[in-house]
Amino acid sequence: EVQLVESGGGLVQPGRSLRLSCTASGFRFDYYAMHWVRQAPGKGLEWVSGISWNSDSIGYGDSVKGRFIVSRDNAKNSLYLQMNSLRAEDTALYYCAKSHRGGSDYLRAFDYWGQGTLVTVSS
Partner 1 sequence: EIVLTQSPGTLSLSPGDRATLSCRASQSVSSPYLAWYQQKPGQAPRLLIYGTFSRATGLPDRFSGSGSGTDFTLTISRLEPEDFAVYYCHQYEISPGTFGQGTKVEVK
Please say whether the beta carbons of 114 and 9 come within 8 A: no
Q: Which stretch binds partner 1 (CB under 8 A): 12-20, 24-32, 40-48, 73-81?
A: 40-48
Instruction: Tell me: does residue 61 bind partner 1 (CB under 8 A).
Output: yes
Please say whether the beta carbons of 58 and 68 come within 8 A: no
CB of residue 76 to partner 1, shortest distance in Å: 22
Among 47, 71, 78, 118, binds partner 1 (CB under 8 A): 47
Q: How many residues bind partner 1 (CB under 8 A)?
A: 23
Cα–Cα distance between 88 and 15 in angstroms, integer? 9
CB of residue 94 to partner 1, shortest distance in Å: 11
CB of residue 121 to partner 1, shortest distance in Å: 21
> Got the DSSP string for 87-111?
-GGG-EEEEEEEESS-SS-----EE
Helix H or strand E encompassing 82: strand 78-83
Instruction: Tell me: does residue 107 bind partner 1 (CB under 8 A).
Output: yes
Instruction: Tell me: does residue 100 bind partner 1 (CB under 8 A).
Output: yes
Identify the DSSP state of 95: E
